[in-house]
Structure 1
Amino acid sequence: MRFVIDMIIRYRIIAGNTLRPPLIRRVEAMTIALRLRAKMNEKDLSENELGRRSGVPQPTIHRILNGDSSTPRKATVEKLARALGVTPEWLLFGGTQGNVLPASPPHKEAKKYPVISWVAAGAWSQSADVSQLDSGSEMLASDVYVGENGYWLEVQGDSMTPAQGNGFTPGMRVLVQPEGFDLVSGKYYIALLGSTGETTLKQYVRDSGIGYLKPLNPDFKMIVIDGDVQIIGRVVDVKFPNSFL
């Protein structure tokens, strides 16, 4: 009997030393994951949308939510907390305090992005370098963060001007997020047409499993998205020209 008891004790010690640290790390990671998931659900945010707002890559967010990242970097936690309106300490450790940040001033710090040409837009997401811009390049501010490679385009032509209702009229400026965006039917995107080299603004629609670039002006034809079409950015903000006022 004594032998059996000794074996049980020895097994528990060995098992505890072997399994406990990874299990503890897993529980800690899942605790962070549960708090992160709860706030995302509360604010109705997808992984991609949280990534867009926080600047944290979607795969990193996915690993945290799955409990695979037990020790996310301090900068990552701070970005996620800021986007969710909580403190980094609450996101990491929980508790009753810090799950809601104190009310912040109504003004949101804006970031300036360059206004570039439609020709330049085709390659901007791959080789954006603000330092190479001409000193006279126009910079416009927005409180919508679109990453370091974001840019503005000036709307040209009337393909996005509908017969009735709101649209994109010539002279309007659109802010483009060139990285980390979702394809959502009904939203507006910048596309590069490989057959002509043209860069264009269109509405993305999906029907019966096929994607289309849709002009708002019925006088223009829809474009089927095939191997020659590359979606290079999503429109997330607009500015009207001064002449509109």
Structure 2
Amino acid sequence: MSTHNLIREGRKRLNMSEQQFADALGVSRGAVQQWEKPGGTAPKRTNQARVARLLGISIAELVSGVSAGSRGADMRGEVPLVSEVEAGNYTVIDNFKPKKQFETVPVSVPIQRHTYALRVHGDSMVSEVGDSFPPGSILVVEPEMTPEPGDYVIALNEANETTFKQLVKDGGDFYLKPLNTRYPIKPLDGARVIGVVREFTKRFR
């Protein structure tokens, strides 16, 4: 795959128009058209880092025109690691047009505009069997995904506090279930799900 195809297919994967892609990078639409045109110009060195970050690839992949995905790897890029407060106001996160500096973590799922990472606190999702999320685990959260029963989710209660639980359904009612049996299952009630957990990793340092 050429650099031109890599950029064009990456932009389409992000569901961005040429103008939206250009705006996110601070360049003209004409520049984007040249990058995607066979025989056109490639991104200048000063733009390469921003283009690669937006596409979720490395600069080396951008320049070579060969993505890690085409070599069998599954790495998609990086997302910001946010606080619980920022997770509750996730729309301030814009992976296509970053406005502030966050610590970032690598992910292997497709990145959307508001995808973010969150650190697990407490032991309510620690289990001796099956899935377990010890304190310090890093969750990759997609707020634009529709939650389904069985999903691990981030919910926001009426006091604007975030909580990490499993969404379960009993009859016609939804509940937030901890994996640690020492904690009670609570009805969703006035809380609302603001993100679905896509993957998690454990970071020690």
For residues 80-119 of structure 1, the C-alpha deviation after alignment (integer angstroms, 9 at most, x for no partner) is xxxxxxxxxxxxxxxxxxxxxxx94212352110000011
Question: How far apart, CA to CA, are the structure 2 residues paired with 1:160 and 1:207?
Answer: 20
Question: How far apart, CA to CA, are the structure 1 residues paired with 2:185 and 2:105?
Answer: 31
Question: How far apart, CA to CA, are the structure 1 residues paired with 2:181 and 2:153?
Answer: 18
**Does residue 150 of structure 2 align to residue 186 of structure 1?**
yes
- CA RMSD, aligned part only? 2.2
The offset of 1:221, in angstroms, is: 1.2
Query: What are the within-5 Å matches in structure 2 for residues 82-121 of structure 1?
Result: 104-121=70-87
Letter in 2 for 1:193: N
Higher helix share: 1
Aligned match of 2:138: 173
| Contact 1:146/1:178 (<8 A) preserved | no
Question: How far apart, CA to CA, are the structure 1 residues paired with 2:142 and 2:103?
Answer: 18
- TM (normalized to structure 1)? 0.52
2:108 to 117, 133, 143: 143
**Does residue 69 of structure 2 align to residue 133 of structure 1?**
no
Aligned match of 1:214: 177
Percent of counterpart pairs with the same letter? 33
For residues 25-82 of structure 1, the C-alpha deviation after alignment (integer angstroms, 9 at most, x for no partner) is xxxxxxxxxxxxxxxxxxxxxxxxxxxxx656xxxxxxxxxxxxxxxxxxxxxxxxxx
Unmatched 5+ stretches in structure 1: 1-53, 57-102
| Contact 1:191/1:233 (<8 A) preserved | yes
Higher strand share: 2
Give the secondary structure class of the aligned counterpart of 1:145: coil
Aligned match of 2:197: 235
The offset of 1:242, in angstroms, is: 3.4
Give the secondary structure class of the aligned counterpart of 1:121: helix
Question: How far apart, CA to CA, are the structure 2 residues paired with 1:110 and 1:55?
Answer: 12
| Contact 1:187/1:203 (<8 A) preserved | yes
Give the secondary structure class of the aligned counterpart of 1:120: helix
Matched residue count: 139
Question: How far apart, CA to CA, are the structure 2 residues paired with 1:129 and 1:184?
Answer: 25
Question: How far apart, CA to CA, are the structure 1 residues paired with 2:127 and 2:185?
Answer: 14
Letter in 1 for 2:99: Q
For residues 191-242 of structure 1, the C-alpha deviation after alignment (integer angstroms, 9 at most, x for no partner) is 0011x3210110000011100000001111112112x211000000111113
Which has the larger Rg? 1
| Contact 2:136/2:204 (<8 A) preserved | no
Give the secondary structure class of the aligned counterpart of 1:204: strand
Unmatched 5+ stretches in structure 2: 1-12, 16-68
